[in-house]
Structure 1
Amino acid sequence: MEENKQYRANPDDRSDNVEKLQSMVQNTIENIEEAQDSMQFATEEERAKIEAKNHRREESIAAFRSEIQDEASSRKNSYK
């Protein structure tokens, strides 16, 4: 056994963060649309839960978009 094996942290690779975040935004938008479609079959209580969850999803999208701007700026300044 190798008891003295050294472990190294993986390097911070942020090169595809913008694309990953954009994909997350798209997936969240699709989830909102699917949830809205399901509301026609939902009870009042279920509709309220769906609306609350979609509100949280919209907040997440805003945060993702802000992070996309930060990452794009970092890429422009650091990843030339």
Structure 2
Amino acid sequence: MVDQTPKPDDRSDNVEKLQQHVQNTIENIEAANETLENGAIDGNDREAIEAKNARREEAIEGMRKEIIDEARDH
């Protein structure tokens, strides 16, 4: 029989995980910008990449706020 008890909520490393997510997202933005600079992207793809980068920037803001909250809680 499989143990169905929930695992305890371990938030001890949330700040580190969030910081890594921020770094990964920044790297994704940079890679997308390099693709845009290479110029081999047409209008629709360019717009899609720019929109995705805008969403990534918003996500970074949210993650940074969450880092502050998590750091404050510990």
Shared fold (TM-score greater than 0.5)? yes
Q: 1:6 to 1:55 in 2, by over 3 A?
A: closer
Q: Report the residue type matching 1:49 in the other structure.
A: A
- Give the corresponding residue for 1:34: 31
CA distance in 2, matches of 1:60, 1:13: 23
Amino acid at match of 1:11: P
Q: Which moved more, 1:10-19 or 1:35-44?
A: 35-44
In structure 1, stretches of 5+ residues that fail to align are 76-80
Gaps of 5+ in 2: none
**Identical aligned pairs, as a percentage?**
54
Tell me the residue number matched to 1:57.
Answer: 56
Give structure 1 regions of 4+ aligned residues with deviation exceeding 6 angstroms: none
Residue matched to 1:78? none
User: How much does 1:6 deviate?
Assistant: 6.1
Distance of 1:49 and 1:33 partners within structure 2: 15
Flag the 1:15–1:44 CA change in 2: closer, same or farther, 3 A: same
Larger radius of gyration: 1
Q: Matches of 2:34 and 2:4 in 1, distance apart?
A: 49
Structure 2 residue 23 is the aligned partner of structure 1 residue 14: no
Q: CA RMSD in A?
A: 1.4
What TM-score does the superposition give when structure 2 sets the normalisation length? Answer: 0.90
Counterpart CA distance in 1 for 2:69 and 2:6 is 24
Name the count of aligned residue pairs: 72
Larger relative contact order, structure 1 or 2 (CA cutoff 8 Å, min sep 6): 2
Structure 2 CA distance, aligned partners of 1:9 and 1:21?
A: 23
